[in-house]
Structure 1
Amino acid sequence: MKVLLQRCKNASVTVDGEITGSIGHGYLLLVGITSTDSEKEIISLTDKLAGLRLFEDAEGKMNHSIVEAGGSILSVSQFTLYADTRKGRRPSFIDAARPEIAKPLWELFNDKLREKGFVVETGIFGAKMDVTFTNDGPVTIMLEA
């Protein structure tokens, strides 16, 4: 499982001209799932996300978690995180989980974040989405389990 975390001032996702998810400050999470992922990886990453200290304190140091900062989460499924570009010019996505595996795991990931008390907005699994955000910092971190 891979999660590309982007600390943001705001973020939204639009499908067919309608906003399906929108947040103020917090995390935009692009979530990639591979066929070997399970609840174990989800629990590991949701625990990590809840505790990461990526928000500034009064002195400008990254000492506050998203909980302390009162941030929200926008979660977007992103199979292209598993692109393999080592051969040729067209990426292979063979390592990305099939939709019947990935969708329930992505939904479980979002549910586990909600269980931790986060406001979690989402895109629509498998849809063509327009994602707009203002990266804060910029802070962009790849998490893997």
Structure 2
Amino acid sequence: MSKPKKPDGFTFIEVIIGVLILGIVLVPLFDIFAKSNWHSVDAEKSTTALYLAQSVLEELKNKPFDDIKPVSDREYDGRPGYRYTVKINGPEDVNGYQVKHITVVVSYMMGNVTKQVSLTMEKTNRDEIAEQQM
């Protein structure tokens, strides 16, 4: 008498169990990929906002002391979705010089949340006084 031949392939229940195990493993992986992408986009936007704030400060650094004025909620040229504000505290007198504390705040949207990056510098009228004395 010969042994009954074992069928080749998988049974339906084995396939269903395999698909369930695969689903249980893959769902968290897709979540990790989605969160990783979100963090990558957030880092890119934050870095861009930082560069934009730095460029505004560089422009202000090259302006004469008296020409530096506050700016209210302006869109950054060539960068839709990024807005900036320039806040000025001062001038105040420090050791015979006038000092302005300048803060540039760049805001951008990340999902439904508005995020901000800010940079601050101080500008004095020291160079202008030195030029007048020459």
Q: TM-score, normalised by structure 2?
A: 0.27
The structure that has the greater radius of gyration is 2
Relative contact order (C-alpha < 8 Å, sep 6+): which is higher? Answer: 1
- The answer to which structure has the higher strand fraction is 1
